């Protein structure tokens, strides 16, 4: 029983640290970034395409800023149903428009929920 509590405590701590880090980054970069709608120009998958479980899609996105079209230097994660040409909303850096950021309040909330569930189960096991 002690091992399970320790494991849940570790998971809760990791989720809380993840949530705090993403929350701080969200606040820091909130005023340095701008949302824009772009289109996927290329997609990369780390595993073969026929593998659907534990796979993800990472896309390079083209978007317009002040009349100029940029293609992102880095890739952002997109839904598995996304295809080339699919519109996506992305955040770019105002000073470096070709650099995308992928932080969100959803990540902060997800980390906090995981930490809360682990803590609740840990206290229930007592």
pTM above 0.95, yes or no: no
Instruction: Identify the segments of the chain with pLDDT beneath 50.
Output: none
Residues in Cβ contact with 100 at an 8 Å cutoff, skipping those fewer than 6 apart:
61, 72, 73, 74, 76, 90, 91, 92, 93
pLDDT for position 115: 93
pLDDT for position 96: 85
pLDDT for position 104: 77
- Residue 126: C-alpha distances to residues 1, 2, 13, 116 (Å): 9, 9, 18, 16
């Amino acid at each position: 029983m002690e091992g399970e509590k320790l494991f849940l405590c570790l998971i809760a701590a990791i989720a809380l640290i993840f949530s705090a880090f993403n929350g701080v980054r969200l606040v820091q970069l909130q005023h340095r970034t701008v949302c824009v709608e772009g289109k996927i120009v290329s997609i990369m998958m780390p595993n073969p395409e026929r593998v659907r479980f534990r796979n993800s899609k990472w896309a390079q996105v083209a978007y317009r800023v002040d009349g100029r079209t940029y293609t992102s230097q880095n890739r952002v994660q997109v839904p598995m149903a996304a295809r080339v040409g699919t519109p996506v909303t992305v955040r770019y850096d105002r000073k470096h428009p070709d650099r995308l950021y992928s932080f969100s309040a959803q990540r902060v909330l997800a980390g906090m929920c995981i930490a809360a569930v682990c803590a609740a189960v840990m206290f229930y096991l007592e």
